[in-house]
């Protein structure tokens, strides 16, 4: 009996080891396949960018080096003082920043009393953008502060028309960002795609378009893919971000980015898609690489 038990125990041990080996081999193969997919060459259908502010803890030189390795061609929301560093790494700035000490998200084009100073400020930024060989310059509506959406739209159109001929001459596009007023930017006026599209129509220039921030518009209105398809002619640029929380755009959040970016590609869009999520993981650049791979449809 003892011999029979010993044989059975030995057989069980060998079988267990074999199963463990098979499981380990399968796991190793899956990890290897994942690593190969992450290291695969980008497909070339999407122009990738990354927003500088999400990686402020990383020196710009280091971010530029990592971006080149990942396959990113642009650093978004860089300022003129950053342009030389970007060019050192053969990177563009697909969306130039315009957040000054006085002007920005909360204080923008929807106030008539701001227009003269904004024209001067933006003429300077248009020059800087054009001289660097870049083409897109961000702008903002400003907060409502009790102003109706119709009045805000009319005021923005009045002010921006004062600068459009100069932007057209310099071949620079002013791009107003759509932001949510529900979570991150309370009272911001350009918080819905329809409002932004009406502003584009009122201005009537190919050098004024919208920055469609997928994160912000998911919060405000949802229906992302249909909106992109219907409004694509007015969109110059896209930003990503996981909802909720504005973190990684993987399976930890509610949006399915491969389908969204495929919809963007299907419209014939030739601009840039910029990662604008705040990484939660310790290895922030690994999260950035993952985001680019997810959007590389």
Domain boundaries, the chain: 1-40, 43-295
Paired sense of beta strands 74-76 and 47-51, if any: parallel
pTM: 0.86
The pLDDT tens digits of the residues spanning 218-238 come to: 999 999 999 999 999 999 999
Measure the CA–CA gap between 114 and 108, rounded to whole angstroms: 7
Amino acid 8: pLDDT: 53
% of the chain residues with pLDDT over 90? 85
- Asked if residues 110 and 139 have their Cβ atoms less than 8 Å apart, the reply is no
pLDDT in tens, 182-208: 999 999 999 999 999 999 999 999 999
CA dist., res. 218 & res. 259, Å (int): 14
Q: For 36-59, how does the pLDDT look when each residue is reduced to its tens digit (9 = 90+)? A: 444 558 999 999 999 999 999 999
pLDDT higher than threshold 50 for residue 25: no
Q: What is the pLDDT of residues 153-181, one digit of tens each?
A: 999 999 999 999 999 999 999 999 999 99
HEC per residue, 192-211? CHHHHHHHHHHHCCCCEEEE
Considering the domain 43-295 in this protein, what is its CATH number?
3.20.20.150
């Amino acid at each position: 009996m003892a011999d029979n038990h010993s044989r059975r125990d030995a057989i069980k041990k060998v079988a267990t080891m074999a199963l463990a080996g098979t499981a380990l081999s399968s796991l190793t193969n899956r990890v290897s396949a994942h690593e190969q997919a992450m290291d695969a060459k980008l497909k070339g259908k999407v122009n990738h960018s990354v927003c500088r502010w999400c990686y402020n803890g990383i020196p710009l030189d280091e971010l530029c080096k990592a971006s080149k390795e990942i396959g990113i061609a642009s650093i978004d929301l860089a300022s003129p003082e950053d342009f030389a560093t970007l060019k050192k790494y053969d990177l563009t700035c697909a969306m130039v920043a315009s957040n000054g000490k006085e002007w920005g998200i909360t204080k923008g084009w929807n106030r008539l009393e701001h227009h003269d100073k904004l024209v001067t400020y933006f003429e300077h930024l248009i020059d800087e953008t054009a001289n660097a060989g870049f083409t897109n310059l961000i702008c903002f509506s400003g907060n409502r502060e009790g102003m109706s959406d119709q009045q805000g739209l009319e005021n923005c159109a009045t002010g921006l028309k004062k600068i459009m001929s100069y932007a057209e001459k310099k071949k620079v596009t002013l791009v107003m960002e759509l932001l949510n007023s529900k979570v991150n930017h309370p009272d911001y006026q350009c918080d819905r795609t329809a409002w932004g599209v009406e502003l584009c129509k009122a201005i009537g220039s190919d050098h004024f378009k919208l920055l469609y921030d997928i994160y912000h518009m998911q919060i405000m209105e949802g229906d992302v893919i249909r909106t992109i398809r219907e409004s694509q002619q007015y969109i110059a640029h896209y930003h990503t971000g996981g909802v909720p929380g504005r973190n990684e755009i993987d399976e930890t959040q509610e949006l399915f980015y491969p389908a969204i970016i495929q919809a963007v590609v299907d419209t014939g869009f030739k601009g840039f898609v910029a990662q604008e999520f705040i990484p939660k993981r310790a290895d922030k650049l690994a999260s950035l690489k993952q985001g680019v791979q997810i959007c590389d449809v």
